A and B are shown apart, each in its own frame.
Chain A
Amino acid sequence: MDALLPIQDRGGPAQPLLLATGLRKHFPVAGGLLGRTTKVVRAVDDLTLSVAKGETLGVVGESGCGKSTVARLLIRLIKPDKGTMVLDGDPVDEPHGITVNELRRQVQMVFQDSYASLNPRLTIAETLAFAPRAHGLPAAEARDRVRDLLAKVGLDPATYADRYPHELSGGQRQRVNIARALALRPRLIILDEAVSALDKSVEAQVLNMLVDLKKELDLTYVFISHDLNVVQYLSDRVLVMYLGKIVELGPVEAIYGDPQHPYTKALLSARPSMDPRKRTREAPIQGDPPNPIDPPSGCRFRTRCPFAEEVCARSEPPLADTGSQAVACHMRVAGSGHSRAVAA
Chain B
Amino acid sequence: MSDLLQVRDLHVTFVTPDRTVHAVNGVSFDLKRGETLGILGESGSGKSVTLRSILRLHPEHRTRWSGSIKLGGDEVLEMGSRALSDLRGQRVAMIFQEPATAFDPVFTIGQQIAETVRRHTGKSDRDAWKRARELLEMVRIPSPEQRLKAYPHEMSGGMRQRAMIALALSCNPSLLLADEPTTALDATVQIQVLLLIRELQREFDLGVIFVTHDIGVAVEVSDRIGVMYAGKLVELAPVERMVDAPQHPYSRGLLASTVHDGMRGQRLEAIPGAPPDLAEVPSGCSFAPRCKFARPDCTASVPSLREVEAAHAVRCVL
Known contacts A199-B42, A288-B186; A280/B264 CB under 8 A = no
B196 to chain A, nearest CB (A): 9
Contact B259 A285 (CB under 8 A): no
A267 to B268, CA, bound (A): 24
B269 contacts chain A at the CB level, 8 A cutoff? yes
Closest 10 CB pairs of A and B: A272-B216, A204-B257, A199-B42, A62-B186, A204-B270, A288-B156, A201-B271, A204-B268, A205-B270, A288-B158
Contact A284 B219 (CB under 8 A): no
A313 contacts chain B at the CB level, 8 A cutoff? no
> Contact partner of A208 among B159, B258, B268, CB < 8 A?
B268
A321 to chain B, nearest CB (A): 24
Q: In the assembled complex, which residues on chain A have CB atoms less than 8 Å from the CB atom of B216? A: 271-274
- Closest Cβ neighbor of A290 among chain B residues: B156
- Closest Cβ neighbor of B241 among chain A residues: A276
Binary contact readout B186-225 vs A (1 if CB under 8 angstroms, 0 otherwise): 1111111011000000000000000001111101100000
* Besides the known contacts A229-B261, A232-B259, A267-B188, 14 further A-B residue pairs in the complex with CB atoms under 8 A apart: A62-B187, A62-B188, A199-B42, A200-B257, A204-B269, A204-B271, A230-B259, A233-B268, A267-B187, A272-B190, A276-B219, A276-B243, A284-B191, A291-B156
B157 contacts chain A at the CB level, 8 A cutoff? yes
A207 contacts chain B at the CB level, 8 A cutoff? yes
A110 contacts chain B at the CB level, 8 A cutoff? no
A51 to B203, CA, bound (A): 50
Binary contact readout B134-174 vs A (1 if CB under 8 angstroms, 0 otherwise): 00000000100000000000001111000000000000000
A315 contacts chain B at the CB level, 8 A cutoff? no
Contact B188 A272 (CB under 8 A): no
Contact B191 A280 (CB under 8 A): yes
- Closest Cβ neighbor of B44 among chain A residues: A199
- Closest Cβ neighbor of B40 among chain A residues: A200
Contact A272 B158 (CB under 8 A): no
Total number of A residues with any Cβ neighbor in B under 8 Å: 47
A300 to B62, CA, bound (A): 51
Q: In the assembled complex, which residues on chain B have CB atoms less than 8 Å from the CB atom of A211? A: 267
- Closest Cβ neighbor of B268 among chain A residues: A204
A189 to chain B, nearest CB (A): 19
Contact B267 A275 (CB under 8 A): no
Contact A274 B191 (CB under 8 A): no
> Contact partner of A200 among B142, B156, B188, B213, CB < 8 A?
B213
Contact A208 B267 (CB under 8 A): yes
A30 contacts chain B at the CB level, 8 A cutoff? no
Q: In the assembled complex, which residues on chain B have CB atoms less than 8 Å from the CB atom of A89? A: none
> Contact partner of B190 among A270, A274, A277, A291, CB < 8 A?
A270
> Contact partner of A169 among B159, B189, B195, B274, CB < 8 A?
B274
B54 contacts chain A at the CB level, 8 A cutoff? no
Known contacts A201-B253, A271-B216; A266/B188 CB under 8 A = yes
Contact B239 A232 (CB under 8 A): no
A104 contacts chain B at the CB level, 8 A cutoff? no
A86 to B254, CA, bound (A): 42
A133 to B275, CA, bound (A): 35
B3 contacts chain A at the CB level, 8 A cutoff? no
- Closest Cβ neighbor of B272 among chain A residues: A205
Known contacts A62-B186, A272-B194, A276-B240; A199/B268 CB under 8 A = no
Q: In the assembled complex, which residues on chain B have CB atoms less than 8 Å from the CB atom of A285? A: 188
A121 contacts chain B at the CB level, 8 A cutoff? no
B43 contacts chain A at the CB level, 8 A cutoff? yes
Contact A200 B274 (CB under 8 A): no
Q: In the assembled complex, which residues on chain A have CB atoms less than 8 Å from the CB atom of B186? A: 62-63, 226, 288-289
A266 to B187, CA, bound (A): 9
